[in-house]
Amino acid sequence: MRLSDLSKLLIVCLILVLPIFLSSSSLQGADSETLTLATTTSTYDSGLLGELNPVFEERFDVKMKVVAVGTGAALRHAQNGDADLVMVHARGAEDDFMNGGWGINRRDMMYNDFVLIGPGDDPAGIGGTDSALKALERIAQADSKFLSRGDDSGTNKKELSLWEKAGIEPGGKWYLSIGKGMGDTIVQTDRMDAYTLCDRGTFIALRDKIDLEILVQGPVKGGDPLLRNPYGVIAVNPAKYPKVNYAMAMAYIGFVTSPKGQEIIKNYTKGGEQLFFPNALSEEPNYEQYVPLDYDPE
């Protein structure tokens, strides 16, 4: 049976118009492009991401989804294909992540330091100690309460490595592992008049809401170099998960290590104190090289 000329015309029209209709409908119903960042609670609780991410979102017309957990959980999140990139602070775990083929293009981003904080009356007498290991020894000897994040975060990994270096296996009623993020751990430490290890940035961000003090300094203030706290940013390897937003992850890495991103990190302060210190590679990276090919700055 032969089609009439009118039928042929209708079929041609449908072929030409239907893709346009479907494309228009899809665009109207689709969410804006999303970039999922798995990161530590310290970058979130300190407020730094609230300064960095809106600039990136506006510049690249993308919506950031932040999953704030401990470093270990952030890396596992990425290994499950549930994140496009990670921002973490545990170099050993980062190297394992890279060596396992999960990550690509790791870049140094910034650093701050860890500090030992506790109540002003300092029952264990660690104040002014120039060694984190000596301070932990005094806390253990005094059976003073110490709160551990206990969440496989970068802070938790650092804390456990310090106990190991001190030759102490923490335990008993004085040592409490609570499985909380940095901000929650600091608040709980304050309520219990206890000690904890935390990053300086989150402490400064919460300082006005707590009565705890920094009793042992890290290297930012000339203290123990063992307490240095570097952060890295890593894209999830698209060879493992082809559906990750790799182009935008690379754009984000380029942005936070660019002069503009590093300036935002440098200028982010609380109470007049700088929380993080940019340390991207000395040669100035050009984040424009990571911009998706169809990106229009206008």
Q: What is the mean pLDDT of residues 202-208?
A: 91
Instruction: Record the tokens describing residue 8, joined without a space.
Output: 């042929």
What's 237's DSSP letter?
A: P
Architecture of domain 113-227: 3-Layer(aba) Sandwich (3.40)
Nearest Cα residue to 235 out of 4, 92, 78, 34: 78
Nearest Cα residue to 111 out of 272, 235, 253, 227: 227
Among 18-27, 106-115, 166-175, 196-205, the least confident range: 18-27
Identify the band that residue 70 occupies on the pLDDT scale cut at 50, 70 and 90.
Answer: confident
Q: What is the mean pLDDT of residues 71-77?
A: 92
- pLDDT at residue number 179: 94
- 34-112+229-290: in CATH 3.40.50.300: no
d(CA 97, CA 103): 6
Is the Cβ–Cβ distance between 254 and 289 less than 8 Å?
A: yes
Q: Where in the chain is the domain with CATH 3.40.190.10?
A: 34-112+229-290, 113-227
- pLDDT at residue number 42: 86
Element (H, E) at 55: helix 49-60
Give pLDDT tens digits for 227-243. 999 999 999 999 999 99
Cα 23 from chain centroid?
A: 36
Give pLDDT tens digits for 21-55. 333 333 233 345 999 999 998 899 889 999 999 99
- pLDDT at residue number 281: 59
pLDDT higher than 70, residue 10: no
Mean pLDDT of the chain: 85
